[in-house]
Amino acid sequence: MRADDAVGLVSSSEQRSELSSDLTREESAFTAPYDVSSSTLEEKSVQRLPTAFARTLSSIPSYAQARKGNKAPDSHLKFVVVGDGGVGKTCLLISYVQRQFPTDYVPTVFENYVTKIEGPRNMIIELALWDTAGQEEYNRLRPLSYSEVDILMVCYSIDNKTSLQNVQDLWIPEVKHFCPDVPIMLIGLKSDLYARENIDDLVDPRRAESLAKSLGAFVHVQCSAKLRSDIDAVFNVALTTGLRDVLAEQKDVPQLLKNPFKKKPALNRTKETNKTKKKKASRFSCTVL
């Protein structure tokens, strides 16, 4: 064998060896996407899912999750969060969606978050969370958020008694005007502040509870986005209420989650009811001449 041929064979062998090494590296990178020791890959935290409603959020979806993501949702829900500026509405949503408390405060204009969650009986629910601005300059734009809403989450801050008063004077009248038949939740934010020694300047929970009943809110809850205390409970109650009609058919609605403030229809017709009915009927009566 000539020297030139020997050199060519060695060169060809080295090229095949390098190509095989490159393919091996690419294959290992593909088959081990969670290899946190690799400098080219960034570790992503696995999000813990709520107990009652599991969200299908993952950095690299499994085959089952991919099929679920492509599947049309069984139901759509829209929650709108309102309240004074700075009470913690955005922190509430971010703490639920991202599973962490935001460190920087950014005033909200209008934001929305859309995710898919898994409900009872493997239902796929598309959940839209709408964050609104509480400042007065956005009063004319905010009603645009109220279309096709399923749950209204009216918020106040525990360390701001004025924000609770504005619930009565501003927010409940506004949402009832634009969404007269939509269930309302009253949510107290920053409940971790009750752990302080001096709580005289904080909202009395009994006053907030009484206000919720008088204003027709179906529930009053307090939570802490900072500690993530009762965040999942707040949204699980909202989800169960929003899915009331669907779950009622499946007999999955707990009695405790039914609206305790909703007035029951009268079973026996009174004279007053009959008079009202006759008046309404007379309005639409006609006479043939």
**The pLDDT of residue 151 is above 80:** yes
CATH top-level class of 54-257: alpha beta
pLDDT at residue 56, rounded to an integer: 41
The answer to whether 217 and 186 are in contact (CB under 8 A) is: yes
pLDDT at residue 197, rounded to an integer: 66
Nearest CA to 151 out of 81, 63, 74 is that of 81
pLDDT in tens, 46-103: 334 444 444 444 334 444 554 555 678 888 899 999 999 889 998 899 888 888 888 7
pLDDT at residue 11, rounded to an integer: 52
What integer best gives the mean pLDDT of the chain? 72
**The pLDDT of residue 271 is above 70:** no
pLDDT mean over 126-136:
84
Model confidence at 168, pLDDT cuts 50, 70, 90, reads very high
**The pLDDT of residue 132 is above 90:** no
pLDDT mean over 122-150:
84
pLDDT mean over 101-116:
73
**The pLDDT of residue 203 is above 50:** yes
**The pLDDT of residue 275 is above 60:** no
What does the alpha-carbon distance between residue 135 and residue 129 come to, in Å, rounded to a whole number?
Answer: 19
Nearest CA to 224 out of 131, 36, 87 is that of 87
**The pLDDT of residue 9 is above 80:** no
Residue 160: what are its φ and ψ, rounded to 5°? -140, 95
45 or 182, which is more confident: 182
Cα–Cα–Cα angle for 215, 195, 235, rounded to 5 degrees: 45
DSSP assignment of 85-131, as one string? TTSSHHHHHHHHHSSS--SS----SEEEEEEEEE-GGG-EEEEEEEE
Model confidence at 23, pLDDT cuts 50, 70, 90, reads very low
Report the DSSP pairing between strands 54-55 and 110-118: antiparallel
Q: Find the helix packing angle between 89-97 and 231-242, rounded to 10°.
A: 90
**Torsion over CA of 188, 183, 78 and 224, rounded to 10 degrees?**
10
pTM of the model: 0.62
Residue 155: what are its φ and ψ, rounded to 5°? -115, 150
Q: Report the SS3 class of residue 269.
A: coil
Residues facing residue 110 across a β-bridge = 132
- Residues 6 or more apart whose CB falls under 8 angstroms from that of 205 comprise 188, 222
Model confidence at 162, pLDDT cuts 50, 70, 90, reads very high
pLDDT at residue 135, rounded to an integer: 74
pLDDT at residue 125, rounded to an integer: 87
pLDDT mean over 5-20:
52
